[in-house]
Chains A and B, each alone.
Chain A
Amino acid sequence: MKQRFLADNALGQFLDWLTHYGVLHGPTRTAEGVDAFGPVQTESDLCLDYRRTLIPPKKYLLPPRQTILNYTTAAGYTLPDRPAPQQVLFGVHSCDLQGIAYLDRVFLGDRPDQLYRRYRNALTLVGLSCEPDPFCFCASSEKAPRNADLFLQRLEHGFIVSAETTRGKGMLAGLEPLLTEIEAIPPPPVESRMMIRLRNAAERGSTFPDSPLWENFAARCLSCGACSVCCPTCYCFDVLEHGALDGMTAERLREWDNCLFRAHGEVAGGHNFRPTRRERFLYRYLHKYLGFGALAGVPACVGCGRCRVVCPVAIDLTELFAEGDDVCA
């Protein structure tokens, strides 16, 4: 099968060319040794063989803390008028692309979130194939998810380039001078046993009510928030409003929340819908794996493995599937 090919030695030119579409960001390694998406000036800033960044690309669409409304006594509440920065996010793995596809369904579904849409429209996605490690279990690390504007499939001396969106197809036309044509067989889709178990559990609506793991998780969990901060599909946020010292203006903010925090289920008057950690774990499980609301039956987990890597007490919700599954074991 004939494919468009970008040789390794043309990668620098390719990155330069991408800056026509916005400020270039990609996987980098910080001075402390943390892999993080960040601004990329030159090819040498990139960490091409990264496994996973600490924070997923959701930070570009739903920042950890964001002003969602401004208040003035004269104008009342108004949306912030600052435009979203035009950005190109290079090197996004399939799991994270799937994570963005899920967030799109949440924020652009029945009631579109105007700020999310603003940031999403300004973001161009360039995917990159990856090598799985013992922590991750996405179903197809090689296949290009449909929301990648461009997708780069790593070969020995370069990349197969494909365009998956209308925007991407337009981009590919302009990219032709940097590409050659090669004959290559697309790799077969990877099947992940864990992902099959997970989907089976979702289909059956399994909640593992008798598992001793719930108590075990609840006793160990530090409620540190890492699992949701680092999850590509956790989107729960808290809404806060702070009046300014001038007495006439205020900012309404949303900031990332975590379902294992006490305040997550707390409402006015101090009532808490989920007063114990055990109940919060069940809630986390129900939302993440079975889905609810408009996305009932749609598992949100994309198998990136971040929550397993970042938990200080090694809590791993997928142990529930390994323990309770008798179909695919």
Chain B
Amino acid sequence: MTRPSLAIAGLTACFGCQLTFLNCEAELPTLAGLFDFTYFPMGSSRREIGGEFTAALVEGAVSTPDDLETLVRLRSRSRVLVAFGTCARWGGVAAMNNHLSRVAMIESVYGKGAGPTRSFNPGPLHRFVTVDFSITGCPPEKNELLATLAALLHGALPVFPQYPVCTECRNRECLCLLIERGEPCLGPITQAGCNARCPAVSIKCEGCRGPVTEANVASELEVLLEKGISREEVIRRMRRFYPEWDYGQRS
């Protein structure tokens, strides 16, 4: 049996998701025996996209013509395309200011007269190509990455939780930062899977894993407004990892 061939690549991103892969130190020798890492520019000097891939794990948002070209080439050569991390799945940090003027943003970074750039508003992969699966998170959780790789060996894809961070937070018997402390915790609208990593150490959920299925955004907003947190503050927090919330959505 031929070994599955993987591509691991980054677009406009911090490469932290790919680092999650490299941080699986205990499993790397096993993984090296199970997969061919055919295209992995961060971890290998081979830089050409060639051949076909069982799966491509793509990190980052699409914000340049080069990103788009890489993405399309990976898509056309891969059986399974995985959006790897919050930027690839939802736009992420790169997209948080998509509502502002690009001309003004470019000017604030490069100065007056910097001329036009070829970049465009960062967006998630599914805006450009068909995405088969996603591993969300900023960065993604190791166990979800490993579960995905293990499932790919069996020609399958894993099932991840479709409930919010609150469920895992309650399961761990953490103090509810929203109810007990009135903090603007985004747990109720954020996809679980992190085992309430932040609330478990008394840090409110920042929403880094993006929206949960059927997030009741309107109700969360009402709760936070009742706690005396301003609408601007709530929206600023919510935009950090996903800029396109529908603030009237209830289901």
Q: List residues of A whose CB falls within 8 A of some B CB.
A: 30, 32-34, 36, 53-55, 64-65, 218-226, 229-230, 240, 242-247, 256, 258, 261-263, 276-277, 310, 312-313
Contact = CB atoms under 8 A, between A and B. Distances in A.
Contacts of A240: 159
A245 B149 contact: yes
Nearest to B189: A222
Nearest to B212: A223
B202 A222 contact: no
Contact of B219 (A30, A34, A55, A222): A222
Contacts, number: 113
A249 to B, nearest CB: 10
B175 interface: yes
The size class of the interface chain B forms with chain A is: 35 or more
A310 B219 contact: no
B41 to A, nearest CB: 24
Nearest to A33: B175
Contacts of B156: 243
A240 B151 CA distance: 13
B48 interface: no
Given A247-B150, A247-B153, A263-B213, 10 more contacts: A30-B173, A32-B175, A34-B173, A222-B164, A224-B188, A230-B170, A243-B154, A244-B150, A276-B251, A313-B219
B96 interface: no
Given A256-B171, A310-B170, A312-B179, A221 B216 contact: yes
Contacts of B222: 220, 313
B214 interface: yes
Given A32-B174, A245-B34, A263-B162, A222 B150 contact: no
Nearest to B202: A32
Contacts of A224: 163-164, 166-167, 170, 187-188
A310 B170 CA distance: 9
Nearest to B167: A225
Contacts of B170: 54-55, 224-226, 229-230, 310
B31 interface: yes
A58 B136 CA distance: 31
B216 A310 contact: no
Interface string B205-219: 000000011101011
